[in-house]
Amino acid sequence: MGSKLRIAVLASGGGTNLQSIIDGCSNGTIDGQIVTVISNNPDAGALARAANGGIAHQCIDHRQFTKRDDFDRAVIVALTENNVELVVLAGFMRIIGDRFLEAFPGRIMNIHPALLPAFPGLHVQQKALDYGTRFSGCTVHFVDGGVDTGPIIIQAVVPILDNDNEATLSARILEQEHKIYPQAIQWFAQGSITLNGRRVVINNGSEKEVAAQINPPLPDEQ
Ligand code: GAR
């Protein structure tokens, strides 16, 4: 095995996805090491999780920059100083500018709590509820110049139940986020990901079939 993939995690909030990646790196399901955690929010739970995990972390507060490009520059400096090979956005609530994209081409991933391309942007669990979709889910994708538009690596489908509210649906989706994000990162670390146009191809030798799901379920067959 070569050396471990050098990962940076960027997070603005509580950091449960960060935690799943910390755990994956420490239990060996991800052949990687988190070399730095960066937050734009000084109060982010993600920073406390990094501290607890003994992981280098810093806050780059976007409010101290008048231009987004200057904030991006500061983040890029922190990433390049740490020889980062993969940038993982985990609940990072800032748009990534062109300079940032050009610094890490094909090396920035994001997780989004909906089944893209449905419901890009913010408050998407509530939007799926309001729309009345029978399923939502989560998507790990590469980041490109649009909002939640990059090539999709893996998705998990989650049913929406009649008595769901934003909190219950978000929790059901998060549970799946914690499974698919570490897996996507591990595929990247293994070099199993190739791009064919917009289509991401995973060369991991798995021939498992994926079952269709129906919600509400059909009546049981007699
Ligand atoms: C997650 O649900 C993630 O998908 C979402 O923020 C939450 C962060 O939770 N990301 C976005 O909405 C990105 N636009 P966490 O801080 O517990 O990982």
For residue 182 and ligand 1, the question of a CB distance below 6 A is answered with no
Q: Whose CA is nearest to atom 5 of ligand 1?
A: 91
How big is the chain, counted in residues? 222
Question: Which domains are assigned to the chain?
Answer: 1-105 (3.40.50.170), 110-207 (3.40.50.170)
Ligand 1 atom nearest residue 148's Cα: 14
What pLDDT, on a 0 to 100 scale, did the predictor assign at position 207? Answer: 84
pLDDT band, very low/low/confident/very high, at 123 (cuts 50, 70, 90): very high
Mean pLDDT of 103-113: 98
Contact status, residue 38 vs residue 90, Cβ threshold 8 Å: no
Give strand ranges (E) for the chain.
5-10, 32-39, 57-59, 86-89, 108-112, 135-142, 152-159, 193-196, 199-202
Closest CA to 87 of 139, 48, 38, 53: 38
Q: What spacing in Å lies between the alpha carbon of 90 and ligand 1's midpoint? A: 6
Tens of pLDDT, residues 93-106: 999 999 999 999 99
pLDDT band, very low/low/confident/very high, at 11 (cuts 50, 70, 90): very high
Contact status, residue 110 vs residue 185, Cβ threshold 8 Å: no
Q: What spacing in Å lies between the alpha carbon of 113 and ligand 1's midpoint? A: 7
Q: Would you say residue 1 has pLDDT above 80? A: no
Q: What spacing in Å lies between the alpha carbon of 88 and ligand 1's midpoint? A: 12
Tokens of 99: 């300079």
User: For the chain, how are helix, strand and coil distributed in percent, rounded to 5?
Assistant: 35, 25, 45
What pLDDT, on a 0 to 100 scale, did the predictor assign at position 2? Answer: 66
Tens of pLDDT, residues 73-85: 999 999 999 999 9
What pLDDT, on a 0 to 100 scale, did the predictor assign at position 149? Answer: 97
What pLDDT, on a 0 to 100 scale, did the predictor assign at position 222? Answer: 58
**How far is Cα 67 from Cα 144, in angstroms, rounded to an integer?**
20
pLDDT band, very low/low/confident/very high, at 89 (cuts 50, 70, 90): very high
Closest CA to 97 of 81, 112, 108: 108
Tens of pLDDT, residues 143-164: 999 999 999 999 999 999 999 9
For residue 71, how many other CB atoms are within 10 A of its CB?
20
For residue 16 and ligand 1, the question of a CB distance below 6 A is answered with yes
Supply the pTM of this predicted model. Answer: 0.97
Tens of pLDDT, residues 57-75: 999 999 999 999 999 999 9
pLDDT over 90 for what percent of the chain?
A: 95
pLDDT band, very low/low/confident/very high, at 202 (cuts 50, 70, 90): very high
Question: Distance from CA of residue 70 to its chain's centroid?
Answer: 24
Mean pLDDT of 94-122: 97
Alpha-carbon dihedral angle through residues 19, 148, 184, 30, given to the nearest 10 degrees: -30
